[in-house]
Structure 1
């Protein structure tokens, strides 16, 4: 290999400990989902293991793909057909490893999606809530950001997309709660934790009514937009720790 490398088995063991994967009851397997070559010198990271990401990894001569959204979700059709077959065939044909970390990557205190989102939005964590403590609670520390509307504007600038606000833009911030991705279902837990505003990625029809009736504002900042940063941070950590190469590839997704 042209770069320093690490054995795939050693990489998987290191990540299992770093991300404390056994702590979580998840909806998919965390760790090595598709086995490829035995050594890894180049990692490509991305949010989701789409065909576009696999093709980008091949162009970059990667040995492994590291993602937040992998395969084999609970309740999905188990047959290896159609798009699933095409993705897996491409990985197997080119001896590419696929490593995926879902809830463990959300929850990591430094490298996780919630931690990395907080760093970009100047949110200071003061506590946790919800199952597995996946929800974070704290304060906004960005100078001049004192209302829900100003926080929404900050999110638009920092994440590069316009979020959807359900609530009064003039409402004072108070406590801010957040959980990246599709965690709109945790709004009730955020309300119970005392949040004045809750940030997540997606929004559902009941979310609107709960936010309006509770007085806790809701900001839907985008599933992809809020979860771009954890996998980048994890890939960079691996590159620095092991001396291997890392490339983050952002496959745009408007959701």
Structure 2
């Protein structure tokens, strides 16, 4: 059993949120009142996740996508009121880490996605070094897409890329804006969660393949890895609950 300050200190020491310029607050977003025996991790602090975590006996929630985002209406109404009501009524703590969770070199979303894909990063690139790259061995982007689809269990969009994949760049979630930095880093393909209109043209014109594998699908590995690590460090229980998301 521990308190929220001890849990917060352990998470901050591991993820170093002070290093990142981010859209919303990293760390403790909602202070509860419970002593902490069990952490429940998930991707997003949605109402469905909060309800499932309560049913699982959570004292603290650990997520990648918290409650607060850039440009968000600050009024506590509607869906925000309901999420906060559930958290406060149950005295549960909510911790959320966005970019720091993406970036951790072994436990973060990018490192864990690499583990799932069977590739290890040997360099980082792009803004705040959030893009990862490493050596791969696929006949072409379509073979890589089939592999990603199999291990992630999601449909994959592949654009361009007939050449063998010897260098793969990746960045989880909505990182389509990192494509140009990935091209400059010398990769044969770039894998992320989402694609926007410009990336299809860049892939065709540069010969570097672009693979969109789903925002949620690429970001469901970091939160449980970090939460399990911190739980073991502090002698706490941990459970990961996935709320499916087609995005």
How does the TM-score come out when normalised to structure 2?
Answer: 0.97
**DSSP 3-state at the match of 2:39:** strand
Question: Contact (CA 8 Å) 1:9, 1:38: kept in 2 or not?
Answer: no
What residue in structure 2 maps to residue 154 of structure 1? 147
Question: Equivalents in 2 of 1:114, 1:229: separation in Å?
Answer: 9
| Structure 1: 5+ residue stretches without partners | none
> What pairs with 1:179-194 in structure 2 (closer than 5 Å)?
179-194=171-186
Question: Equivalents in 2 of 1:163, 1:187: separation in Å?
Answer: 17
Deviations 1:37-69 (A, max 9, x none): 252111111000000000001101110111000
The alpha-carbon deviation at position 240 of structure 1 amounts to 1.6
What residue in structure 2 maps to residue 31 of structure 1? 27
> What pairs with 1:69-148 in structure 2 (closer than 5 Å)?
69-140=65-136, 145-148=138-141
Q: Does 1:229 align with 2:221?
A: yes
Question: Equivalents in 2 of 1:95, 1:13: separation in Å?
Answer: 20
The alpha-carbon deviation at position 202 of structure 1 amounts to 0.7
Q: Once superposed, which parts of structure 1, at least 4 consecutive aligned residues long, lie more than 4 Å away?
A: none
Question: Contact (CA 8 Å) 1:149, 1:171: kept in 2 or not?
Answer: no
Question: Equivalents in 2 of 1:42, 1:213: separation in Å?
Answer: 50
**DSSP 3-state at the match of 2:69:** coil
| Structure 2: 5+ residue stretches without partners | none
Q: Does 1:213 align with 2:209?
A: no
Deviations 1:211-240 (A, max 9, x none): 111211000011000000000101211222
The alpha-carbon deviation at position 173 of structure 1 amounts to 0.5
Tell me which of 155, 167, 170 is aligned to 2:160: 167
Question: Equivalents in 1 of 2:140, 2:118: separation in Å?
Answer: 14
Question: Equivalents in 1 of 2:78, 2:49: separation in Å?
Answer: 17
The alpha-carbon deviation at position 146 of structure 1 amounts to 3.0
How does the TM-score come out when normalised to structure 1?
Answer: 0.94
Aligned residues: 247
Question: Equivalents in 2 of 1:146, 1:115: separation in Å?
Answer: 23
CA RMSD of aligned residues (A): 1.1
**DSSP 3-state at the match of 1:29:** coil
Question: Equivalents in 2 of 1:217, 1:164: separation in Å?
Answer: 10
